[in-house]
């Protein structure tokens, strides 16, 4: 008889449940959230496990990769799909979640997600850290401006290099403000130095990544957008059609149809928000800057802007870019070649 298992992953210990083909619980326990512990526990059962499911999360990809390597038939489940399946559950606990995942595996009612390669995860870690440092750097700058503004001291427009000098100039003659500014500028200097280090690391990653350099042949797509998109796609072959890329990153409208009711709503915003933001920023640059080589795409988006507004035009162009960039990764072509193919098809 086939058996199915569900794992609810937590930081220290994971709840595990094993059911048979009829849905009867065979074993359930808590196991340390380490690959070796989980693999050893499943081996000790002596049962033929048809499928093991675990919900996607911070530790899940690490556990999934190790269990796959050990030969276990494990599936990584989409978090949103699992959450919706458990909405009717009156009591939510780790134990019940593990039971629910095991039943989903038994019934086959689950949607597997792609487990990114280690290289893609490392690139995303660098981009996340860079974004965090950039955000804190802006927070410190805005806080300094806000504090000085209360005393009628206006910083005005500055460059990153001139910011500290401008602040010292303004607080000269204000002993208390001088102390406050000195502390905040020390923090600002550290953040600025680390941000510049991450910028260098991003440029180095782009030089090493042929796929990112290929994507950067697209007008409006720079190193951050290219690396964000390439690392999120990871394996272009996991999409049977390039059109699926737009929906995967939540850039297609939601649809509701029931009886006589049938309407399309706003975009779904599912998937990686960082990719969605990067594509939107690339679309914004393409529409507001005088870039060469994107006349056809820009004209198409401007027709949408005249009909539905600039915001919707940027979203539509972001979805179009998601499709084009995926096709470039699959075919190994640069943007101009992709544009010629699109024009010929039209």
CATH topology of domain 3-107: Nucleotidyltransferase; domain 5 (3.30.420)
Q: Answer yes or no: are the C-beta atoms of 78 and 56 closer than 8 Å.
A: yes
- Please report the pLDDT score of residue 111 as a whole number: 82
* Residue 345, pLDDT above cutoff 50: no
Alpha carbon distances (Å) from 274 to 78, 119, 281:
18, 18, 11
- CA–centroid distance for 24 within its chain: 37
- Please report the pLDDT score of residue 220 as a whole number: 93
Q: What is the mean pLDDT of residues 270-278?
A: 94
Three-state SS sequence of the chain: CCEEEEEECCCCEEEEEEEECCCCEEEEEEEECCHHHHHHHHHHHCCCEEEEEEECCCCHHHHHHHHHHCCCCEEEECHHHHHHHCCCCCCCCHHHHHHHHHHHHHHCCCCECCCCCHHHHHHHHHHHHHHHHHHHHHHHHHHHHHHHHCCCCCCCCCCCCCHHHHHHHHHCCCHHHHHHHHHHHHHHHHHHHHHHHHHHHHHHHHHHCHHHHHHCCCCCCCHHHHHHHHHHHCCHHHCCCCCHHHHHCCCCEEEEEECCEEEEEEECCCCCHHHHHHHHHHHHHHHHCCCCCCHHHHHHHHHHHHHHCHHHHHHHHHHHHHHHHHHHHHHCCCHHHHHHHHHHHC
- Please report the pLDDT score of residue 22 as a whole number: 93
Per-chain mean pLDDT for the chain:
92
Predicted TM-score (pTM) of this structure = 0.87
Going from N- to C-terminal start, the domains of the chain cover 3-107, 118-208, 213-345
- Please report the pLDDT score of residue 15 as a whole number: 96
Q: What is the pLDDT of residues 124-149, one digit of tens each?
A: 999 999 999 999 999 999 999 999 99
Q: What is the pLDDT of residues 166-178, one digit of tens each?
A: 999 999 989 999 9
pLDDT band at 87 (very low <50, low <70, confident <90, very high): confident
Distance CA 109, CA 57 (A): 19
Q: What is the pLDDT of residues 174-218, one digit of tens each?
A: 999 999 999 999 999 999 999 999 999 999 999 999 999 999 999
């Amino acid at each position: 008889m086939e058996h199915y298992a569900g794992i609810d992953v937590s930081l220290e210990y994971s709840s595990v449940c094993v059911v048979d083909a009829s849905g009867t619980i065979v074993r359930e326990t808590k196991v340390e959230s380490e690959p070796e512990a989980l693999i050893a526990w499943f081996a000790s059962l002596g049962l033929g496990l048809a499928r093991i499911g675990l919900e996607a999360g911070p530790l899940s990809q690490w556990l999934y990769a190790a269990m796959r390597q050990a030969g276990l038939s494990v599936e990584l489940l989409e978090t949103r799909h699992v959450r919706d399946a458990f909405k009717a559950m009156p009591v939510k606990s780790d134990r019940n979640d593990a039971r629910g995942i095991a039943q989903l595996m038994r019934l086959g009612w689950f949607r597997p997600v792609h487990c990114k390669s280690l290289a893609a995860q490392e690139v995303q870690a660098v981009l996340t850290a860079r974004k965090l440092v950039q955000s804190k750097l802006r927070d410190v700058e805005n806080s300094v401006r806000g504090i000085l503004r209360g005393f009628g001291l206006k910083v005005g427009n500055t460059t990153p290099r001139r910011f500290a000098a401008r602040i010292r100039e303004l607080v000269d003659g204000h002993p208390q403000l001088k102390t406050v500014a000195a502390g905040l500028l020390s923090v600002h200097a550290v953040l600025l130095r680390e941000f510049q280090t991450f910028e260098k690391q991003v440029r180095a990653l782009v030089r090493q990544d042929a796929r990112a350099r290929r994507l950067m042949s697209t007008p409006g797509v720079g190193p951050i957008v290219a690396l964000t998109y390439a690392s999120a796609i990871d394996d272009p072959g996991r999409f049977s059609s390039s059109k699926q890329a737009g929906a995967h990153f939540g850039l297609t409208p939601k649809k509701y149809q029931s009886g006589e009711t049938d309407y399309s709503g706003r975009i779904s915003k599912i998937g990686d928000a960082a990719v969605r933001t990067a594509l939107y920023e690339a679309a914004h640059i393409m529409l507001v800057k005088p870039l060469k080589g994107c006349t056809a795409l820009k004209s198409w988006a401007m027709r949408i802007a005249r009909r539905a507004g600039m915001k919707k035009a940027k979203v539509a162009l972001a979805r179009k870019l998601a499709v084009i960039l995926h096709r470039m990764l699959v075919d190994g072509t640069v943007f101009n070649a992709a544009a010629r193919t699109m024009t010929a098809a039209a």
